Structures are given as structure tokens and as C-alpha cells.
Chain A
Amino acid sequence: DVKVTQSSRYLVKRTGEKVFLECVQDMDHENMFWYRQDPGLGLRLIYFSYDVKMKEKGDIPEGYSVSREKKERFSLILESASTNQTSMYLCASSLKGELFFGEGSRLTVL
């Protein structure tokens, strides 16, 4: 079974803090993704990566950056957290189309 692990299930941060969300997959998948899930808006793509050190912007990249130094790890970074970044963040990996999601990280920014 594919396993996608997100390091933190719940985080509470203050406005202006730097936030790191970590994601690790164990199936040697080339592609990794970060989505944001908000009620009524579905899953919106923030960034994705199709190889080590490669990244591409998704539909809502503003306020976020990513890092992929190793194939199995894809990190989402909020340089200066804001209240409108309070959300559920889902990491996923894929090999041939099907996405395998992590459990999600619920971030609250106060």
C-alpha cells in the first residue's frame, strides 16, 4: 500500500510566523502535490513537483513556496502566515494518474 505521511495533523500558528508542512511518500513516486481544501471550494492546487528540485505553480501559489530536495519528501512553506491561510492542507503523490493523499494537516492561523 502507498503511504503518504504528513508530519502534523493539527497546527496553530500566529500571523506572521513561518510555517513548514512536511510530506513523505514511500512508493518512489515522481509526482507530488500540495492541495488546499476549503468547504465549497473543493481541492485547489497550490504547487506540484514532478522531480527532485523541480516545482511548478498550481492555481493558488501566492503566499506559499515549496521544497523538494529528496524524491520522497515535499515540503510546503508559508513564509509569513496570514489568517486567510487557515485551511486543511492535503499532500498527494502519483505515479500514473491516481493521486494518493495524506491524512491532511489542519492549520489555524490566529
Chain B
Amino acid sequence: KAGVTQTPRYLIKTRGQQVTLSCSPISGHRSVSWYQQTPGQGLQFLFEYFSETQRNKGNFPGRFSGRQFSNSRSEMNVSTLELGDSALYLCASSLDFRNEQFFGPGTRLTVL
């Protein structure tokens, strides 16, 4: 069974631009969560989608948004990029609530 895939793997943007990251979950998994990893803040939860609905949201500004499609694939968007948005963005999928979350390799975003 294929794992969680994320595209692109690396991205370089400049301040003020916007970016869209994509995540394809493990087949059959309906929950997709997004996390941000930075050296200073560690791994922090962004949001979770289940059956195309945002089920949970972390403490990030409204510039961070996401969506989930009917095939469970998910995208996250960051608008008006700031230098502090430079991070590894990780997507995780699971069958449902209280199941193990399996992570993709991440997208390394660098904002210049």
C-alpha cells in the first residue's frame, strides 16, 4: 500500500506570495491533518479535514487555509507569505478518529 505523498518536496517563495501544498493520503484514509515543523516551535498542528470538512483547527492565522476533496486528497494554502512561514509542512493521514496518523515526507518551504 502506498504511503502518504506530498508535493512539491521543496519550494522557494518570496515574501508576500502565496503557496499551495498538496497531500495524497493512504488509500482508504479519510482524515488528513497538517502540521508545521520549525526549529523554534517544533511540530504544531495546523488543521484536520475529514470527509471534506474541517474538523479541527490549530492556533494559526487565517492566512493558513486548507481543503479536502472527495477523494480525500488535501491541499493547504498560505497567503501573503512571511519569513517566519519557512518550515517543513507535514501531512498525516489516518482512518478516522483515534487511529494512528501516518506522515508524508513533508514539503520544505523557504520564504526569502
- The finding on whether chains A and B are genuine partners in a shared complex, rather than unrelated, reads no
Q: Give B residues with C-beta under 8 Å from A.
A: none
